[in-house]
Amino acid sequence: MMARTPQRTLFAALILTAGAACALPPGESPSVKADGLAGAEKPDFGRVSLMANEIASELKAACPFAAPADENALKACELRLYGNSALRKHLSQITLWGRLLDEKLALKETYLTQFGTDILTSAYLPLFMFNGEYEIKYDEREKLYKIEFATAFRNRLAPGLFPYPFWHNENKWNTYQGANRLTAWVGIDRRLQTEKIKVMQFSVLGKNNPATPTPIALPTFEKETHAKWLWTDAEGKTQPRVTLFDNQYSRSNPHLQKLDQTYRDMAIELRKNECMNCHVPDNPDHMKRLVILQTPAHAASEIGRLIQDVREDRMPRDDAGIEKPMPTTAKQTLLAKAEAFQAAIQDAKSWEAEHPAK
């Protein structure tokens, strides 16, 4: 990821509104085919210890405690984590993310969101600050190690620097802004046969530290703007800007225009086929494993699984939660648009890799 560019495109015109049916039934999300969180083999404590030390050192250096409104500190953290970082290396291909509200509640009973590494390392994890302190514990019930990092949250940033308005839910906002612990659950990745972070949860269950910000009142949640998840601000710019392609790619990337257009084309087809009724942050269908697609960055992070599930007729679903295969023409059109978007993402990423920031 390189220098940011001014926002040029108005994705708000493509905001996807609810229709008659939700895409998936309660408790289910696209491609929930991942192996169980705990494998047959216990993670190795030595390797988990090395992982914890490597990540903690990186987080302390890249995302140190700072003023909760410091945008420069946020950007420095984001650039490091989104790049070739130790944290990124240790994440699963899909990591579950969410609040830890009750330590007595098993992970399988917890509401969590599925994130690819791009969106997690660029839009969510940089919102937290670290001092390098951590503790490792083994959880006998989950058969996983957990690394508990001391943390603090940047609760005074501009609204467009949050991936969506966390304040749509008062409890969620208060857990974010009061977070003092980030727990990484580590297990064996069956495909790679090595330790990976499978779940990350933030909570107020740790110890407060000098960087814990003073809580602020619940920001106003504007139904005519924030409730659309993408909105246009008073200056005519699309927000939240942290979820736009301009936030992830260089202004000189020759594939940006194609990336923009293919995303727009796919978004129109998603709207036509009612694929966005449930995949939004407020989780109207109460899915235990939510996938959200409401912004360009979220959609880009999930594009591979979206294509797979449409191809296999796993989505959308009708009001009763039964698979409702799309008409052949509609399915072929959506797949073509989604595959074009996926190709544009790959081209843009390849160009960035070949032209690193100096």
- Residues of the chain with pLDDT below 50 are 1-35
The 10s digit of each residue's pLDDT in 117-149 is 999 999 999 999 999 999 999 999 999 999 999
**Tokens describing residue 355:** 């032209």
pLDDT for the residue 225: 72
Write out the residue limits of the CATH 3.10.450 domain(s) in the chain: 45-203
Find the distance separating the first CA and the last CA of the chain, reported in whole Å.
Answer: 11
Question: CA 142, CA 139: separation in Å to the nearest integer?
Answer: 6
pLDDT in tens, 27-36: 334 433 444 6
**Could you tell me the pTM of the whole model?**
0.86
> Can you give the pLDDT at residue 16?
41
Cross-strand partners of 338: none
How do beta strands 238-239 and 112-116 pair?
unpaired
3-state secondary structure of 304: helix
Q: Report yes or no: 226 and 12 within 8 Å, Cβ to Cβ.
A: no
CATH number for the region 45-203 comes to: 3.10.450
Question: What are the residue ranges of helices labelled H in the chain?
Answer: 45-62, 71-82, 86-90, 117-119, 170-178, 256-272, 296-311, 328-354
Q: What is the pLDDT of residue 39?
A: 64
pLDDT digits (tens, 9 = 90+) for 53-67: 999 999 999 999 999
